[in-house]
Chains A and B, each alone.
Chain A
Amino acid sequence: MVMIFWWVTALLLLAALAVWAITFWNRRAMRKSPVLVANSSYMDHIPSFVRAQRTARVVRVLQVAIAVIGVVAASLLSGRIASERIETPDFASRDIVLCLDVSGSMYEYDTEILQTFAEMVDGFEGERVALSIFNSTSRTVFPLTNDYDLIHRELTEGAEAIDFDEFGYRLGTRDYDDEKVRKYVDFVEGTRGIADEASIVPDGLASCGMLFDRAEEDRSRSIIFATDNEVNGSPIFTLEEAADSVARRDITLYTFYPGAYECGEECLAELRTATEDNDGVLYQSTDPDAIPSIIQDIQRTQAAAMGATPTVVRTDHPGLGFVLTFLSLIGVIAIGWRAR
């Protein structure tokens, strides 16, 4: 709790004190000469008089109390009592592209990633999010937007659709109902543009980089790039080139590597080199449950990277002061009316 205009409060209280002091020192001078009477001491034994005097004393104490409360409350109100909260800058100028490898090898991870993201979207304040999925070709599920209803819906639907063991289905070890199959097919539609190729990771990354608009604006741009880097085909770019083109456009790359499928160390090393050479960060975990913490970690890293000077957010709390001022005003009017 702080007072934003504490000096206004101090001035008002000082003024009130000054007014009181002036009237106090001049109280004799301002008074008209009294009517001198005599032999009135008997009045102290008249019950109705004693009662009236006591009532008057109570009223006077009330008056003083109301006046003091009124002045203090009004001063406090003018001083703007506020609570202070230190907040990192808002991420309204942040663009995040979620770049998801939907090849069969990423099954298990994609669902988790999308679900985590869907949950995190609720805490977003103005960030724009896009989702791009790729296999042999890329498909933009939704472009950069801050329509969180849409984002949330797409992400949860995506998470549900992608939870599909394609190899198992093809081999006949897993069976899904038609609805489920249709959803999956709909979702990965457009990611199989090139027959007999899969996981063209560098091209996928490059096309994710193309999703950022408003190039002239000074915005924070980042790609969360989830892939196991098991390229199965002939990409147009190399991974280095793709990462480089992304980095050149001031896009920060956060790579999530869920674990080896077939390729192993070699692919990881390539991914690491490509990421870290361009000031990106690579996270690695074979445990799908680690994904939320990794994404939060990415969030934190980004906040730090944005040079977030923490700003102080003040929230006014005028309620009590206002109510007290209002009530005391009513009291003053009521008593003033009585003594009219």
Chain B
Amino acid sequence: MATSLLTRVKARVDLHTSNRARGLIQGRGRSLFKGSGEDFDDLKYYQPGDKISDIDWKATARSGEPLIRQFNEERVRHLSIVADTSSAMAATAADGSSKRDTMVMAAGMICYLAQKSGDLVGLVAGDDSHPIQLPARSSDGHLELLLRTIQQATTTASPPKDTAWLLERAFRVTSRSTLMTIITDEAGPDVEDFSLLRRLTTRHDVMVVRIADADPLQPASLDFDVVDVDSPREIASIARTSKRVAQDVQAYRQARRQGIDEMLDRLHLSHVLSTGETTVIDDMVTMLRSREFRHARA
């Protein structure tokens, strides 16, 4: 078996974000997920078996005894990943990488950050006929399973995209308030899902990671056919090389993106549109940073 997905994600995060990500994942105080669950409860004496990292060194120095900070149960944050595992996510991303790999990378980024701070991560994915749900856990094995589940559920044989169902499902099965990361592509969530999204935001802190689709015309690589995962029709090279068609397609995609961007902005959601696996880590770091500022302002 290949290296675990989590390890791979970690390597990528370290490689890609060296300095920029450092701040995000250093000590709890500067953690990305500030706010809820940070409630400091008490100091207690260190017992063998407690985490060394929990030792409050200043207090220890003052008292002469090793003390550890104790947080109440609320300190454990619940994260959930809502993954769009429809067939569209098995296609190619804008930078030529796989949208599935990009999605795994994005989910892995969340898992990685959660693992650093011991948060619980759950999963909602699948479709009407095969709903997928993983409870919120924090173990490495669970995170790995979560990533694998996303990876394996996303095939070209999956049913077409149904974000409405997915959002509805996420709302119903996630009882507790979570930091919810929706991972989908540039066509989702649909502007018609506005009310579903809004309902979701009433209970959860929602982030949306969108992965841009590859150009369906691919005029530069005519040797390869272009096939839509949902409607496999052949696209003639005349259509693929036509400037007029390229213009119209571009205009349509632009309009669709803008529509979704506007909807997400109206809901005050953090969202990012990433071109693919090569940039998704950077894009997410940028998004998380901007969240930090948002909280700072608030």
Binding site for B on A (CB under 8 A): 31-44, 46-49, 52-53, 55-57, 59-60, 339
CA distance A48 to B240 in the complex (A): 11
Could you list 21 A-B pairs, sorted by A, with CB under 8 Å? A32-B223, A32-B224, A35-B226, A36-B156, A36-B228, A36-B229, A37-B218, A38-B185, A38-B228, A38-B229, A39-B161, A40-B213, A42-B256, A43-B252, A46-B249, A48-B242, A49-B248, A52-B238, A52-B245, A55-B236, A56-B237
Residue B138 at the A interface, CB < 8 A?
no
Residue B273 at the A interface, CB < 8 A?
no
Which positions 169-215 of chain B face chain A at CB distance < 8 Å?
185-187, 213-215
- Cβ of B245 and Cβ of A339 under 8 Å apart? no
| Additional A-B contact list (17), CB under 8 Å, known A34-B227, A38-B90, A38-B187 | A35-B224, A35-B225, A36-B92, A36-B227, A36-B228, A37-B213, A37-B226, A37-B229, A38-B87, A42-B252, A46-B248, A46-B252, A49-B245, A49-B248, A52-B238, A53-B238, A55-B238
Min CB–CB distance A336 → chain B (angstroms): 13
The 4 closest A-B pairs by CB, nearest first: A56-B236, A38-B88, A52-B239, A40-B216
Q: Which residues of B contact A47 (CB under 8 A)?
A: 248
B187, closest chain A residue (CB)? A39
- Cβ of A48 and Cβ of B91 under 8 Å apart? no
A52, closest chain B residue (CB)? B239
- Cβ of B237 and Cβ of A53 under 8 Å apart? no
- Cβ of A39 and Cβ of B88 under 8 Å apart? yes
B252, closest chain A residue (CB)? A42
Residue B221 at the A interface, CB < 8 A?
yes
Min CB–CB distance B218 → chain A (angstroms): 5
Selected from A38, A52, A60, the residue in CB contact (under 8 A) with B242 is: A52
Selected from B87, B231, B245, the residue in CB contact (under 8 A) with A48 is: B245
**Total interface residues on B, using CB and 8 Å?**
40
Using A48-B244, A52-B239, A53-B236 as known contacts, say yes or no to A39 and B225 having CB atoms under 8 A apart. Answer: no
CA distance A36 to B89 in the complex (A): 10
Min CB–CB distance A39 → chain B (angstroms): 4
B228, closest chain A residue (CB)? A40
Q: Which residues of B contact A33 (CB under 8 A)?
A: 224
Q: Which residues of A contact B187 (CB under 8 A)?
A: 38-39
Q: Mark B242-259, 1 if CB is under 8 A from A, else 0.
A: 101101110010001000
Selected from B186, B223, B238, B245, the residue in CB contact (under 8 A) with A39 is: B186
- Cβ of B92 and Cβ of A37 under 8 Å apart? yes
CA distance A59 to B242 in the complex (A): 15
- Cβ of A46 and Cβ of B245 under 8 Å apart? yes
- Cβ of B237 and Cβ of A339 under 8 Å apart? yes
CA distance A43 to B229 in the complex (A): 14
Residue B77 at the A interface, CB < 8 A?
no
Min CB–CB distance A45 → chain B (angstroms): 8
CA distance A213 to B237 in the complex (A): 79
- Cβ of A36 and Cβ of B90 under 8 Å apart? yes
Q: Which of B89, B244, B256 has the most CB of A within 10 A?
A: B244
Residue B235 at the A interface, CB < 8 A?
yes
Q: Which residues of A contact B216 (CB under 8 A)?
A: 37, 40, 43
Q: Which residues of A contact B90 (CB under 8 A)?
A: 36, 38
- Cβ of B237 and Cβ of A35 under 8 Å apart? no
Using A33-B224, A55-B238 as known contacts, say yes or no to A38 and B213 having CB atoms under 8 A apart. Answer: yes
Q: Which residues of A contact B92 (CB under 8 A)?
A: 35-37
Q: Which residues of A contact B227 (CB under 8 A)?
A: 34-37
Using A34-B227, A37-B92, A40-B228 as known contacts, say yes or no to A49 and B249 having CB atoms under 8 A apart. Answer: yes
CA distance A39 to B228 in the complex (A): 7
Residue B56 at the A interface, CB < 8 A?
no
Residue B230 at the A interface, CB < 8 A?
yes
Selected from A32, A34, A52, the residue in CB contact (under 8 A) with B236 is: A52
